[in-house]
Amino acid sequence: MASTPLHASTSVGASSSSNIALPTRRQHLPPQSEFRFELEPGERISFRLLPGTGDAEVFGAPMVAGEGKWYPFGEEAKAAIASWTGAELEISIWSCFPVSLTGVPPEASPKLAAFESVSDEPSPTFTTHSKVHLVLERARLQARAQLRSDPALVSSLANVPAALEPSTSPISFEDAGSSNGNATAYRPEAQGPRIMVVGGESSGKSSLVKFLANYALRSPAVCSVGSAPAASKEKDEQPEVTGWWPVIVNLDPGDGAAPLPFTFSALPLSPIPTAFLASSSPALPYGLTTSTTGAIHPTPTSAHIVSPLTLWLGRDNTRENEMHAKRVVDWLAEGVERRMARDARARMSGLLIDTSGVITADGRNRYSWIQYCARAFKVDTIIVLGHDKLNIELTRLYGHPGSGVTVIKLPKSGGVVELDDVYRARLRTLQVRSYFYGGSGPAKITIPDLSDPEGKATKEVPLPGHDESLGGVSTLSSFSSTLPIDLMWIWRVGAEAMAPSSALPIGAQRTVTQTQLVKLDPGTSSADQATLLHSIVALIQTPRGIGPKVGAAKARAEAGVETHEDEDELTDDEILGSPVLGFIHVADMDLIRKTITVLAPMKGKLPVLTGLVGTLEWTDA
């Protein structure tokens, strides 16, 4: 479908600082089609839905038509804009190449993105994806009806002992018989849909999860346990909020989700304020969250996250230490079940589980990782995206009536982009940088400063149409602090951080498990120094306080950190299951002064001084 160029003097947006004009063009979207685009480094593209021309949405998030309402994308974003009825889009593209001092790029006509196209086939938004949403909507309405029909059920579910007093050691789901164990807070009554999306790498799993989440948030249903007869005068005066409150569970440590890669997380969503998961930057795969950049709170342009739960894995995949990954899943599943027991809205809205891509080697053990996660989160539906072998194997496993799991195969969208390792590495660097420094800010160009009488001065001004930070993330001023090396306790998982067996006393033996923690000693060990320098450290909230019993107690007291001398030592398992409070970057180490310099996203004392380290490294350049 051909684009219609606009004259180069067409004004893009409004600018109070100048009358900058950029070339734009119009793009027609036929009904049930989508406009796909891929950006290169340094490129930005902005879209405006022209009023009265139809509807448009991005991964299920609706676009609002308006004269000055632009939707910017950048940082190598790869996305698609779909339309049910057809629409007219206005497009402006900017790249960080030299711009003339008049503020107008040298191109004679509006630019094209590095890649863009209008799909020939109907968008999956209007075929498979929307049908899946309708199935989930019915399941949510059934769960809501069950809760409304039995008012005592809500209180009964919230008072499950396992939900009131979290276990210090959640059950393992290694055996199929443990899937409905009484040791968890799970009960089958009034459960909303629990969906797990699986498939190969770069198959569109995260895109489908975002779509289903956005459609749940924009649902016209009222997510309330109040029965219809109980509608009171107060309810009539103040309309109830519509939309579901689903929980996104991210089990893909490689791509990175809130807050950083190398983690597992549960993100309870809320339709208050009215907002959706943004997709303007791949650094924010599920939009802006409270924990995405540490100090930033959700804005009206991003979905609101309620008490996210993040656990540290420390690797970009689960295959290197599957035993450890399964144990982290145990802890995450327990945390999710406790929340679902206490929060009726999340319970009836259900789970949307994103997973890492499967590879050929995973089939040799019958995709045991997928089976494990399905048991842990009590999954009732598995959606397979474009993977025949995986679909056949899962159908064999769950095809019998007693499995309680339905397997659905969906085709892989033609708009899916294959991501290589180089791109993934750049994406992780971008995500880490965004955590500490916030968004990249608005696009700016240099123009003459007319207030200079000599006419030599220039100034930077935001570029209209690109004058907002991507995803509403403002720039942060990170904070560096220097601490004594022995002030922090930092652990690493697994035997690779331990001294070799030859270093043990003669005759001594050691049993090492894949979930054993090794405390780093950067003050004396050169290997630990190399491990820690430039690493990202996850600060964790341990269940019974923190702190060494000897050695650093004085330093910790001077830092204002409470110690608990009468407590037992924390177990490795408790530390593995401790939620992440935030992240710091080890920028430098002074072995002479025995100090460590760390970077945090906000100023002030660190909330805790106990952390976990893995293989996530970053150089602040």
Q: Which residues are annotated as a binding site for ATP?
A: 34, 78, 202-207
* Residue where the block lists tokens 């906000």: 602
DSSP, collapsed to helix, strand or coil, labels residue 522 as: coil
Peptide bond connecting 273 to the previous residue in cis, omega within 30 degrees of 0: yes
Annotated binding-site ranges? 34, 78, 202-207
> How would you write 26-39 as a 3-class SS string?
EEEECCCEEEEEEC
Sign of the alpha-carbon dihedral angle for 14, 16, 17, 18: positive
Distance CA 430, CA 439 (A): 10
> Distance between CA 394 and CA 383 in Å, rounded?
10
3-state secondary structure 539-591: EECCECECCCCCCCHHHHHHCCCCCCCCCCCCCHHHHHCCCEEEEEEEEEEEC
Yes or no: say if 352 and 209 are a contact pair by the CB < 8 Å rule.
Answer: yes
Residue 508 tokens read as 């001594």
Between CA 431 and CA 439 the distance in angstroms is 10
Q: Which helix (DSSP H) or strand (DSSP E) does residue 158 occupy?
A: helix 151-158
Q: Cα separation of 222 and 175, whole Å?
A: 38
Positive or negative torsion for Cα 291, 295, 301, 305: positive
Residue 383 identity:
I
Task: Identify which of 322, 306, 210 has the alpha carbon closest to the alpha carbon of residue 255.
Answer: 210
The candidate with the shortest Cα–Cα distance to 499, out of 465, 468, 467, 524, is 524
Q: Which residues pair with 99 in a beta bridge?
A: none
* Closest by Cα among 60, 139, 125, 61 to 351: 139
Q: Which two tokens stand for residue 96?
A: 């960080």
